[in-house]
Structure 1
């Protein structure tokens, strides 16, 4: 029953995608839109196949930057949420700074990071940390703060300390919010890496996009856009798999 339901959902989701591809192909081949402005899906696939080895090389760089930035974003977000949960003073001091980091557009920060840190990998990783830090910190803190008060009182009555209360009550309660933030941060990490690479670099999907845009190769432009979307979906799928392994009780409840 569950397998047939999943197949039905996949079929319904595929219908719209196929319809859009057919419409796209029609608009490209009918002459309603110039081919150089909107290359057909067939042209995009051909460009993807032709440049596949080059795309693999650039993808490795972008994924490495995304992985490093996401890792440090998770670690810094967890530490910030932990400190805010432990101290009301730190919460009042840090929370406005968290919000402030999200009011500055990413495109405005990236040139400054490149100016300060050069064209290497460091400014890309820092930008990804800035992008992924906020959802991790906020969701984890909300999970810690919303832990069941009665459970914590029961553990205190049994002689548990702050470490045990955090490990057995607050941390499990924050897992749902953590994985929700991780899905967002995983997709943001790839996009953030590409945006940083637009402004300077030697390799990466953002560098590749800049080069094909300057050459007016819009079929290759569309190919790398779809590749970036595909990589983001893969990362989100890996997070879902990790969540099922880390929270088996959630699947049982469903």
Structure 2
């Protein structure tokens, strides 16, 4: 598939969704405070561009910090679990438990413990992405082809060298899949934390706009958040494709 075709397909889909949205807002007899028209959202985007830009920067910093800490911590824990069955038996239940509790329930506690600043939002983003990164990387380390391990043992490789030169390279595509998922969902943690308690950020702006019935501004903030997430995911996907150049990637399928 050509580059033009890969670009054209999402553009056409987006334009179709906007047309449906416009038709519902225009002829669906829906009050503007429930569903503003796309042109009203566009005007709000332009009028409040400075506020939206500052809020997006705050959320982006929280997301990037949470992504870096979550990916790093999840990868280290997966490596420790691969090296030590004892670590795996003791830590895997805790990792699963972190996903059993809804993030909405943890958000008030994190704000209480870490304050209304960025720290609570970063921790929330880390909690959201920690499980997919850890589980994906751990699965990749466990699923190393048996022939590779047998060959390494035949050549007298130690456990550490086998992990470094055989299991780790074989598990990198699995880690990349976990990182892609984490990049897509990391903003969720930051925004949820901002909804509970914050003084800036896109989540805080959406909540404030909602209480004031400024639905056009709320939609504008939502669109900025969606665009930021897509760009962040696209950049991470491009970076992983360059780093893991030997892994075949088929875009647009």
Shorter chain as denominator, the TM-score bin is over 0.9
1:224 is the counterpart of 2:224:
no
1:213 is the counterpart of 2:210:
yes
Q: Distance in 2 between matches of 1:42 and 1:72?
A: 39
Q: Distance in 1 between matches of 2:74 and 2:193?
A: 21
Matches within 5 A, 1:62-77: 62-77=59-74
Give me the TM-score of the superposition, normalised by structure 1. Answer: 0.93
Give me the TM-score of the superposition, normalised by structure 2. Answer: 0.93
CA deviation string 1:37-61 (max 9, x = no partner) = 1111111111011111111111111
1:91 aligns with 88
Alignment gaps of 5+ in structure 1: none
Q: Once structures 1 and 2 are overlaid, which stretch shifts more, 164-173 or 230-239?
A: 164-173
Is the contact between residue 151 and residue 169 of structure 1 (CA under 8 Å) also seen in structure 2?
A: yes
1:49 aligns with 46
Deviation at 1:252, TM superposition (A): 8.3
CA deviation string 1:122-156 (max 9, x = no partner) = 11111111111111110000000011222122223
Describe the SS at the equivalent of 2:29. coil
Q: Distance in 1 between matches of 2:236 and 2:64?
A: 13
Q: Distance in 2 between matches of 1:231 and 1:16?
A: 18
Among 170, 181, 189, which residue is 2:186 paired with?
189
1:107 is the counterpart of 2:104:
yes
* Residue correspondences, number: 251
1:137 is the counterpart of 2:140:
no
Q: Distance in 2 between matches of 1:188 and 1:149?
A: 33
2:164 aligns with 167
1:127 aligns with 124
Deviation at 1:14, TM superposition (A): 3.1
